Structure 1
């Protein structure tokens, strides 16, 4: 008998539980419309299931560049990148917000280890906003293209003895 009463009230309980959510969402939508261009919402996963491309370009003129990149789940293996060529891969972010690709680049005079992609809102909006993260290895260090395509210096080479 008590179960039947609960079953009759269940639709009303669901409506009450869902109503504040829809109200909150409509208020958030109005705020976005008032603030101008759409920016990533820091309370929503910006990376979840979004497709990204990572490029590692060899700008070392006459030198080969060895690249070894991996995530927790995928090892891309060691690749040789010829001058003015690139290594490129695509992936989708995960719901957990833990997508991270770590790379080691090495050439005749040095090496560097870095995170080629980090599931971080600041990193994504500053450098991968168009879903493409572009790294360039040059003789003085490692660069990452910003939203405007300008190369931003990121790291020096560790010198090989």
Structure 2
């Protein structure tokens, strides 16, 4: 019986070692390659038919520990109030109207700030040419203000919050 315990202990150590070596080798063999970042497609400023372009608007709550109330609407569509917890987002897609005058207005509010702005307007000072990479306007609500993605798909500062008292 005294001989069985060391033998049993040796078997358990060998099993544990082989299991550990399988874990470490499987981690190395299963590396997933990082996806290649694609260049954003630029909207054509002289596009004769912008109504065929499909646009997307995203509102991201990047406030670390705060809830964000987002209410967006156009002349024809009220998207309703969305309560976004940290790291959540609201998004919607649409085609510009045939006149090229589609506009979505948003009101974002959190515990310490409020901001009303045009989240999408097809006639605004090159908003679609300078920003909204891949026909997607990404708005990011952060503690210091609201950011918007540019054509390089980087977030750039857009506007400070109107602070609530």
Tell me the TM-score normalised to structure 1 length: 0.72
Alignment of 1:78-117 (within 5 A): 78-117=81-120
Aligned to 1:143, the other structure's residue is in SS state strand
Distance 1:107 1:123 in 2: 25
Q: In the alignment, which residue of structure 1 is the partner of 2:5? A: none
Q: In the alignment, which residue of structure 2 is the partner of 1:63? A: 66
Structure 2 residue aligned with 1:44, among 48, 56, 79? Answer: 48
Q: In the alignment, which residue of structure 1 is the partner of 2:151? A: 147
Q: In the alignment, which residue of structure 2 is the partner of 1:33? A: none
The answer on whether the counterparts of 2:104 and 2:120 sit within 8 Å (CA) in structure 1 is: yes
TM-superposed deviation, 1:149:
1.6
Does 1:130 pair with 2:134? yes
Distance 1:79 1:39 in 2: 29
Structure 2 residue aligned with 1:158, among 150, 155, 162? Answer: 162
CA 1:59–1:44 in 2, change beyond 3 Å: closer, same or farther?
same
Does 1:54 pair with 2:64? no
Instruction: Judge which range, 83-92 or 121-130, deviates more.
Output: 121-130
Structure 1 unaligned blocks of 5 or more = 1-37
Distance 1:98 1:81 in 2: 28
TM-superposed deviation, 1:69:
0.2
Tell me the TM-score normalised to structure 2 length: 0.70
Q: Deviations over 1:132-159 (max 9, x none)?
A: 1100000000000111121111111001
Aligned structure 1 segments of 4 or more residues deviating by more than 4 angstroms: none
- Greater Rg, structure 1 or structure 2? 2
TM-superposed deviation, 1:64:
0.3
TM-superposed deviation, 1:113:
0.4
